[in-house]
């Protein structure tokens, strides 16, 4: 925890768990009879319960977005660059909630949890989740916390899809939506990359149709390959070129298959570490949720019609070098929102870092996101004062 | 063989084999003591032996580029769209040679051949080949056929790299160079995709460090994944979108991992068929030859200096939607050739088909390639007449 004393860190945080015995009906037709959500909060909920901000995570994310769990943690949460006192999502003003999605492998009910009906791990029997399912479960946690309406729901990539779904599933419960580096539906190429990742995992002999835990193994090779493919799509070609070029790790070509170019070393390292810390069934499930997301699909492919329920204001952010969900994909959303007469701001941020840019610090990104959130905070405070004067008057 | 009677087909063809006992010294420092090249020829070599055109193949290609091997073949050779009587590379004018590269798996000496020294298959012991090695072996076949100088050397992708190497290794033996959809060096992203393919093959438990043949198995899953990744990079995002969109093969989502989207079905099919017809060690070796190709690398990264030996005319062709070797990569070559005072024409062809466009018919492509080759044929004929009149005069 290098900056414990830093005013910009939320410091040490402890996750909470909420247990639900209200059955959750899922898009696939199945029902989760009982389930748990692990989540973290940063900042204080105000008396009016009007300053809550929900941050939704992406494919390999989780609830630990800011601060540190232990004093000896080397790294903070995954979005610490943007959540904290004085940061874009300012914890002096907002009560920030980040939830590990159902089906995840960081504490919420998922494939690595015990299925109480069968007594064994859920494994591949865990139902496939969709973005609307996640949003429904998040709304139930909001009920539990007494939050009727979020000042904002914010997320990047798969997180941005959840934000959009919030605006459509619970229009009265979200005042502002911040959709970052996302898309309203995957392209065939996006699905193709997901399919390669899935086939890598599923064709690993240690996968055992998803029951690897019962065999005391993990499909490490498959997960490793899936993550390597993913990483290529997270970085821009230019960022890879700048970071690694054609630099050799060896003095001269070794004319063999050991690590030779720097980029090979990077990919193998990323794949290796991921394969020891992430669950294969969760990875499969998350990629399917990405593939299925398509709000226009149920409206005859009319995105404008699909967006009509939304009542919130939108901020859409994309990054110039993102080729996973390119700026053109964000512009499709912006155009449809404009056609649907919804208030929307759009910023395309110059960044060489590809899709990963949504996780990184960047002055213009902070100005856009921070500026928008400042206005959200000001409105929240105004509404609070109106309420208070109403009560006292 | 659907168009036996077509005037535009070279018809039935039979491969030839050339055996060499002249040791071939390789860039890796090893020596191939004896080796064979399998090749096909189309058209007739003229008396002056001045109308020979060498066509170089790409990663998964081979010597069978045009015509049919059997009357019941459903498909012709891989570049039949461009080689034949009246086609861009007109077999009424040119004597066309296509060679299976050393290290290949279609008849030339490679990992699936017997190493006469050990008596076992070469397998992973086959030396890593480089583009200059291939060009040296091709030059030795040209000697054998009595061809001192090629009217043109032509190739796409990895084939285009061999063309460029010909211009540098044997400047006096090549009159025209046609470099299609290629690059002078892979980017870090290109290397990254190759590395994922290699890791997919090498981490397959059936790989057995490359000795799979001795175990009576093939690393099918690995090859399949490698090909799936490859196919994503061969097609443009738009081409995939147009071809498959988000079309489901099923009436509604199946909420499982069976084939669901059309693009998944396509990739699995491509991967499956490839894994039964291509050798894994050859695939590994070909990707390494791609990674290593870098003529500027041995000239202090000065491409202009690296190109200075070339004496031929160049035609460089790229395709607008190719993101594997994008038009910008061809322009780097063109710019360097211009700076090096080499005669060069450049065409960027509008095509939605990505890298695969170099294999497909396309009127503007045919006009550019065919027009250039017509001028080559005219010059060759002129030179022939000059020679003949010189001889007779």
Q: Which fold has domain A187-292?
A: Rna Polymerase Sigma Factor; Chain: A (1.10.1740)
Neighbours of B307 (CB within 10 A): 24
Neighbours of B320 (CB within 10 A): 16
> Do the domains A1-185+295-392 and A187-292 sit in the same CATH topology, yes or no?
no
CA B331 to chain A, closest CA, distance in angstroms equals 17
Active-site residue, selected from the candidate residues A50, A60, A137, A157: A157
Across chain B, mean pLDDT equals: 95
At A12-54, the pLDDT tens digits run 999 999 999 999 999 999 999 999 999 999 999 999 999 999 9
Percent of chain B with pLDDT over 70: 96
- The per-residue pLDDT for B8 is 87
**Architecture in CATH of B1-185+295-392:** 3-Layer(aba) Sandwich (3.40)
CB < 8 Å from B in window 300-339 of A = none
Spell out which residues of chain B touch residue A207, defining contact as CB-CB under 8 Å: none
The closest of B293, B304, B301 to B342, measured between CA atoms, is: B304
Q: Which of A261, A262, A291 sits opposite B291 (nearest CB)?
A: A261
What is the pLDDT confidence band of residue B388, given thresholds at 50, 70 and 90?
Answer: low
pLDDT in tens, chain A (393 residues): 665 445 689 999 999 999 999 999 999 999 999 999 999 999 999 999 999 999 999 999 999 999 999 999 999 999 999 999 999 999 999 999 999 999 999 999 999 999 999 999 999 999 999 999 999 999 999 999 999 999 999 999 999 999 999 999 999 999 999 999 999 999 999 999 999 999 999 999 999 999 999 999 999 999 999 999 999 999 999 999 999 988 888 778 889 999 999 999 999 999 999 999 999 999 999 999 999 999 999 999 999 999 999 999 999 999 999 999 999 999 999 999 999 999 999 999 999 999 999 999 999 999 999 999 999 999 998 877 766 665 543
End-to-end CA distance of chain B: 47
Q: What is the CA radius of gyration of chain B?
A: 21
Are B241 and A188 inside 8 Å of each other by CB?
yes
Residue A383 known to bind ligand: no
Could you give the CA distance from residue B366 to residue B361 in angstroms, rounded to a whole number? 7
Are A185 and B255 inside 8 Å of each other by CB?
no
Residue A302 known to bind ligand: no
B49-67 burial code (b ≥16 CB/10 A, e <16): bbbbbbbbbbbbbbbbbbb
Are A229 and B229 inside 8 Å of each other by CB?
yes
The model scores a pTM over 0.80? yes
Domain ranges of chain A: 1-185+295-392, 187-292
Could you give the CA distance from residue A236 to residue A240 in angstroms, rounded to a whole number? 6
β-pairing, B95-99 vs B35-42, is antiparallel
Are A257 and B284 inside 8 Å of each other by CB?
yes
Is B31 part of the contact surface with chain A (CB cutoff 8 Å)? no
* Site of tokens 């790299």: B161
Nearest CA in chain A to B220: A203
What single DSSP character describes residue B351?
A: -
CA A306 to chain B, closest CA, distance in angstroms equals 17
């Amino acid at each position: 925890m290098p900056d414990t004393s830093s005013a910009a860190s939320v410091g040490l945080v402890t996750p909470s768990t909420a247990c639900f015995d209200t059955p959750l009906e899922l898009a696939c037709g199945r029902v989760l009879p009982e389930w748990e959500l692990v989540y973290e909060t940063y900042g204080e909920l105000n008396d009016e319960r009007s300053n809550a901000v929900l941050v939704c995570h992406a494919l390999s994310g989780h609830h630990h977005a800011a601060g540190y769990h232990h004093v000896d943690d080397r790294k903070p949460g995954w979005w610490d660059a943007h959540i904290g006192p004085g940061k874009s999502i300012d914890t002096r003003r907002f009560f920030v909630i980040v939830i590990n999605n159902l089906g995840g492998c960081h504490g919420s009910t998922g494939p690595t949890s015990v299925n109480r009906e069968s007594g064994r791990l859920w494994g591949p029997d865990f139902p496939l989740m969709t973005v609307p399912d996640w949003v429904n479960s998040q709304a139930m946690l909001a009920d539990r916390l007494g939050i009727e309406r979020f000042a904002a729901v914010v997320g990047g990539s798969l997180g941005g899809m959840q934000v959009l779904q919030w605006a459509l599933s619970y229009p009265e419960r979200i005042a502002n939506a911040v959709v970052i580096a996302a898309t309203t539906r995957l392209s065939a190429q996006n699905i193709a990359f997901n399919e390669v990742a899935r086939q890598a995992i599923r064709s690993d002999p240690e996968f055992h149709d998803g029951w690897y835990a019962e065999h005391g193994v993990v499909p490490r090779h498959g997960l490793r390959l899936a993550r390597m493919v993913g990483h290529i799509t997270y970085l821009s070609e230019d960022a890879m070129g700048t970071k690694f070029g054609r630099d050799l790790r060896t003095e001269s070509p070794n004319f063999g298959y050991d690590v030779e170019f720097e980029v090979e070393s990077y990919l193998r390292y990323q794949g290796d570490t991921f394969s020891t810390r992430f669950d294969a069934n969760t990875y499969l499930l998350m990629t399917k949720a990405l593939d299925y997301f398509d709000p226009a699909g149920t409206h005859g492919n009319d995105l404008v019609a699909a967006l009509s329920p939304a009542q919130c204001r939108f901020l859409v952010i994309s990054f110039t070098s993102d080729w996973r969900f390119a700026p053109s994909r964000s512009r499709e959303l912006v155009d449809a929102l404009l056609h649907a007469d919804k208030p929307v701001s759009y910023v395309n941020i110059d960044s060489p870092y590809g899709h990963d840019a949504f996780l990184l610090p960047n002055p213009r990104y902070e100005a856009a996101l921070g500026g928008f959130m400042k206005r959200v905070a000001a409105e929240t405070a105004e509404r609070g004062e109106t309420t208070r004067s109403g009560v006292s008057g």
